[in-house]
Structure 1
Amino acid sequence: MSKLEKTKKIYQSIETPTKLDDLVSSTIDEALKQKNKPFVWFKPLLYTAASLCMIFIGILNTSQAFAENVYDIPILGSVAQVFTFREYSHSDNGYGINVKVPAIEGTGHTELEKRINQEIQSKIDMVEKNAKLRAEENKQIILDEGGTEEDLSYFIVEIDYEIKSSTEKILSFVVNVSESFANTYTYQTFYNIDLETGKEITLIDILGENYKEVVTKNIMEQIKKQTENNPEFTYYVSDEGFEIVEDNLKFYINSAGNVVISFDKGEIAPPPMGIQEFEISN
C-alpha cells in the first residue's frame, strides 16, 4: 500500500464527532454539580480544549493534504526499542531450551537494524544447533556405558536479553545465553548503538585512544577496594596489577551514561564469583 493510499485510508476512517460539544458540555455540568463551586474556573478551559479538538478533527476531514502531513509526523517520545520478536521453548531427550529472541526497531537506520537482527538470530541458531549436538553426545556416552535414557541429565539452555539503557541518542542491550549442565555458564553479547550515526559504539568513541589505560586504572582501583572490604574475594591479578591487552573488551552503557566493562564467569575471578562488572569513570 502506497503512502498516499495509507493516508487516504486514515483520512476516510475519521468521523466528524457532531455530538462532541454536547457530550463535553453535559459532562462538565455534571461534574460541576458533583463538585459544586471549586472548579468553576476550569470550565472555560475544558470548552477551549474540546473546541480545539473539534477544529483539528474537522481539518482532518476537510483537508486530505493536511491529513497526509499529520500521518508523516513521528509520534512524540518514540525512540528506538528492543522488543521480543519471538518466544518459544522445546525439549527432547537430554535437552531443553527456552528462548526470547530480541530484535531492534525505530533506530532510523534500516540497514543497521537488519544486520543486528540477523546477527542475533544467527547466533541463536548456532547455540541451538550446538546444544542439540552436545545433548546427543552426552546421551550416547550414557548409553555406551550401559545406562538408559532415564539416566540422562538434562542439558538446559536459556536465551534472553536485557536493556541496559535506551535514550534518544544511545541504545545499549545484552543478549544472554546460559547453559546449565554440571555447572551454569552465561555468555553475553553486547550491542551499543549510536542512534545519531547508526554505528556501533566503541570504547575509543567514549573513553578515547588511551581507553586501555583508563580501564586498567579504574579496574585496579575497584579490585583493591573490593578485596580490602571483602578479604574472601579473589581475582586473577598479581600484586603488580594487570594490563588490559584485549581489543574487544565486552561492555555496555548504563542508565547513567557510563561504560561498564563485563568479564565472563571465570575470566578475571574464580567461577563461583560469577560475572564481574566494573563501571568506568573517565
Structure 2
Amino acid sequence: MTRIAAKFEELKSKGQSAFVSYIMAGDPDYDTTLEVLKGLPAAGVDIIELGAPFTDPMADGSTIQLAGQRALDGGMTLNRTLEMVVEFRKNDQSTPIVLMGYYNPIYNHGVAQFLADAKAAGVDGLIVVDLPPEEDEELCIPAGAAGIDFIRLATPTTDARRLPKLLPNTSGFIYYVAVTGVTGTGSANVDTVGTEIARIKQSTDLPLVVGFGIKTPQDAKEMAAVADGAVVGSAIVSKIADGAPVADVLAFVKSLADGAHSA
C-alpha cells in the first residue's frame, strides 16, 4: 500500500478527512522551507504538497507565482527540491509528499531519470497540471509503473463527457479545483462543491480532496465535510511571503488542520 493510500485508510478509520498543505520549495530560501516542511506533520498536516518552482506557472495566481520566482532567484532547482525531500525523509517515513508543478523541468531532467530520482528521494505522488490525459504516456503511465501516484485535477468544467477521460490512470486521489481560475483567487462555495463531489464520486472510488479558494479554518472545515480532504496553499504561502516566523506559519497551519479534522 502506498503512503497516500495508507494515510486515507488511517483517516477513514478515525472518521476524519485529510488536511493537505502546499508550500513552495525554496521560498523564501532552502533552509526556511526545510524547517517549515519538517514541522508540517506535527502541525496536523496529513499530506504535503511541495511545489517545484517553474518560470511559467499557468495554473497559479500571483501569490504562488511570486513564491516560485523568489525560489528560482534563490537558486532553487528540481534537483534541490528532491534533495529537500531526502532531508525530510531522514526523520519522517510516513507522511506522504506530493510534488506539484509543471512538465518542462521533468522533461528536461529526463522522465525515466526523474522518476527514479523522485522514488529514491521518497516522493509519493505527482500533480503535473499541464499534462492532460491525452498525454498519459509522457509521464502518468510511467509514474504508475514506478510506484508513484499520478494525481489528476478535476474542475467545475469537467463535465460528464470529460470526466471518464480523467479517471483511468489517476491514482492516489483526485484534486477537485473548487473555483474556476488560478490559485489564490475567489472563494469556494461549499454547496456547489458538495454537489460536484457527489457527482464525481459516482464514477470513482478514489478519495477526492478540494483545493483553491480555501483560506480559513472554517473554509477547511466546510470543505472537508463534503469531501475526503481539503487543501490550503496560497494562504500559507502568503504567511511565508509576509516574513512570518516559522513558528507562526506552523501555528496557522495547525489552525487550518484543526478545522479540517473537526469536520
Could you say which TM-score interval applies, normalised by the shorter chain?
A: under 0.3
RCO higher in structure (CA 8 A, sep ≥6)? 2
Larger strand share, 1 or 2: 1
Give the TM-score taking structure 1 as reference length: 0.22
